[in-house]
Structure 1
Amino acid sequence: MITLMACLTGFILDLICGDPIWLYHPVRLIGRFISFLEHLSRKVCRDNKRRLITAGVLMWITVAALSAAVPCLLLYAAGAVHPALRFVLESFWCYQLLAARSLGQESRKVYGKLKEGSLPEARKAVSMIVGRDTAKLDEAGVIRAAVETVAENTSDGVTAPLLYMMIAGAPLGFFYKAVNTMDSMIGYKDENYLYLGRCAAKMDDVLNYVPARLSALFMTAAAFLLGMDGRSAWRIYRRDRKKHASPNAAQTEAVCAGALNIRLAGDAWYFGVRYPKAYIGDDIRPAEAEDIVRAGKLMYATAILSFLLFGMLRLAAVLTG
């Protein structure tokens, strides 16, 4: 019950406050640890492919284990002092592990720059929330990039951490965030990370498999509730959910594209290299700046539906256990 209340408190705090820029985020500490281990691995393994794969596995185990063990021990120590202290600490961490408000705010910055008519500033704003090259994107490209990242991160930044925190509290939430951070830092399929980042990429796919599909279902329901094109969301989801190199990324993108009646994805540039990608959705109408706002509403509604269902399941488990 304490974990359930901590998740509720953290969820509400995230919706109200978002992630303060001035506050040091523990995921940044995880990121620095990953960078240290990457540097160490490359120094030891050099260009030996087999050693790099082994180092990647060891890195994954070390980062994931410590990211769960440290908060677990700190929560135990806090509980030994007083249960209220444990509750406050876990609530704060649950708040930090969620990203609904921050995702909405950052995408709104892109929308604001587009409404001001400043495409260069919009490119700069969207570059803060996407991994692709944005310097040459036209207005439609900026809009699609913002909508896609809101759709995809609805799962990575909200539904998935919520699910894992509901199962085992903040420690499992940190475990998930560590895996997700490793994937975002070293899980690329280019020459630099193909071997070292292989384990990180595969394990991120595993941990996001269920949350991504649950997010797609919740987002489809949200489309109906918000008066968007729910039928098209379901149709495009069933048709295009596998049109991505990742088994998970297209799940919510397909729903979002269908709900908004626009076409997403297509070829993208990463680190100066063009990567061919299939289109997701139907080109019924051109993407417009308001689609960023609509995607944000879908994200918030999906987050609330996710919390309600996971919370009810957690409460049922507590009452029957």
Structure 2
Amino acid sequence: MLTAVLAFFIDCILGDPRSRFHPVVLIGNLVAWLDHCFYRPDDANEKKLLAGGVLVLIVLVVCYEAAWCVLRLIELIPLEHLGMALEALLLAFMISPKSLAVAGMEIRNLLKDGELSEARRKVGWIVGRDTEKLSAPEASRAAIETVAENTVDGIISPLFFYLVGGLPLAVLYRAANTMDSMLGYKNAKYLYFGRVAARLDDVLNYIPARMTGALFVLAAFLLHFDGRRAWRILRRDAAKHPSPNGGHAEAPVAGALGIRLGGKNYYFGEPHFRAYMGEATRDIEADDIQKTVRLMYTVTILFLLIAYGGFLLWQQRAIFF
């Protein structure tokens, strides 16, 4: 448990270093290579589905076994604290609170300085929608939605799976999430080939997403936002999100801040409407990005505190029983 806490502090200090040797980059390279090897545009849909499933299985096995082997090597280190530090460093590569915060705050600062064109460009780095014509409130909304939703994918889920099954399971989750981000599109190429990757990501995030939703509500109370409305909007609007999990992060954030998320987005020039979440008690502002980042960090700390408390109670139970 202390390893997870240390990993969070390492991320707060180092962030997510950009390197071609970063574990997630290596996972992405493996996925891209297997995509090239397995995808055949002339295959029948059933064969594409099967090939995509085989790709997913290979990536999961390779990543889990690689993490298991690395962990066994770390355990051979005679200095216990050094081994824990190395494991925490590897876990820190699996989470991204600082990267989310830096990306969100950079967009917030650009909008506050009136640099809308540059803010649009930076939003385009973290979202899949078209950003060239976004208004300032729309750019803020995109950043808020990304920080909220990625609190699940980039923080709580990998920590959850680390607590369940150690570093190998956290790496397996990160591999599944990377495959979803690369293959989980509903377009001509990936509708069948990427379906297994997309469904696996939905299944793995199911429990962590609902835990995150509850933690966002608690964080709203602690930060003196509207916790009651966060709970009401979570219950009312979470299921409206096209993802089975994304709404459990975005809805309570919308409720806590008194804003409305969702609406019309453009992808490759084509409009797509996503159901609204929350109530527009006021216009979205750039400062709402900063508030969302505060909520994200509070949710992360709450998760670690609750998990550590549960760990201590389990230890006490073992002593008495």
**Aligned: 1:150 with 2:147:** yes
> What does 1:62-141 correspond to in 2, within 5 Å?
62-82=58-78, 84=80, 85-141=82-138
State the distance in 2 between where 1:92 and 1:133 align: 35
CA deviation vs aligned residue, 1:220-260 (integer Å, no higher than 9, x gap): 00000000011110111111000111110111100000001
State the distance in 2 between where 1:159 and 1:57 align: 26
Aligned-residue offset at 1:22: 5.0
Please tell me whether the aligned partners of residues 218 and 306 of structure 1 are also in contact (alpha carbons under 8 angstroms): yes
Alignment-mate amino acid for residue 276 of structure 2:
Y
**Aligned: 1:37 with 2:30:** no
Change in 2 beyond 3 A, CA 1:316/1:25: farther
State the distance in 2 between where 1:258 and 1:268 align: 21
**Aligned: 1:18 with 2:31:** no
Alignment-mate amino acid for residue 48 of structure 1:
A
Alignment-mate amino acid for residue 238 of structure 1:
R
Aligned-residue offset at 1:303: 0.6
- The ranges of structure 1 where at least 4 consecutive aligned residues each deviate by more than 6 angstroms after the TM superposition are none
Residue in 2 that maps onto 1:186: 183
State the distance in 1 between where 2:303 and 2:206 align: 16
Tell me which of 27, 39, 46 is aligned to 2:42: 46
State the distance in 2 between where 1:282 and 1:64 align: 40
Aligned-residue offset at 1:75: 1.1
Tell me which of 190, 197, 201 is aligned to 1:200: 197
Residue in 2 that maps onto 1:61: 57
SS, match of residue 75 in structure 1? helix
Please tell me whether the aligned partners of residues 20 and 26 of structure 2 are also in contact (alpha carbons under 8 angstroms): no
Segments of structure 2 that go 5 or more residues without pairing to the other structure are none
Mean CA deviation greater in 130-139 or 110-119: 130-139
Please tell me whether the aligned partners of residues 140 and 285 of structure 2 are also in contact (alpha carbons under 8 angstroms): yes
Segments of structure 1 that go 5 or more residues without pairing to the other structure are none
Aligned-residue offset at 1:25: 1.6
Cα RMSD after superposing both structures: 1.6
State the distance in 1 between where 2:10 and 2:309 align: 19
State the distance in 2 between where 1:202 and 1:190 align: 15
Alignment-mate amino acid for residue 61 of structure 1:
L
Alignment-mate amino acid for residue 110 of structure 2:
K
Please tell me whether the aligned partners of residues 166 and 311 of structure 1 are also in contact (alpha carbons under 8 angstroms): no
Q: TM-score, normalised by structure 2?
A: 0.94
**Aligned: 1:285 with 2:287:** no
**Aligned: 1:252 with 2:249:** yes
State the distance in 1 between where 2:32 and 2:90 align: 23
Change in 2 beyond 3 A, CA 1:233/1:76: same
Residue in 2 that maps onto 1:241: 238
State the distance in 2 between where 1:83 and 1:165 align: 22
Residue in 1 that maps onto 2:161: 164
Aligned-residue offset at 1:23: 7.4
Aligned-residue offset at 1:313: 2.3
SS, match of residue 195 in structure 1? helix
Aligned-residue offset at 1:137: 1.0
Aligned-residue offset at 1:83: 5.3
State the distance in 1 between where 2:312 and 2:267 align: 44
Q: How many residues align?
A: 317
State the distance in 2 between where 1:5 and 1:83 align: 16
SS, match of residue 276 in structure 1? strand
Alignment-mate amino acid for residue 290 of structure 1:
D
Aligned-residue offset at 1:80: 2.4
State the distance in 2 between where 1:70 and 1:23 align: 17
Q: Percent identity?
A: 42
SS, match of residue 162 in structure 2? helix
Change in 2 beyond 3 A, CA 1:67/1:315: farther
Please tell me whether the aligned partners of residues 243 and 250 of structure 1 are also in contact (alpha carbons under 8 angstroms): yes
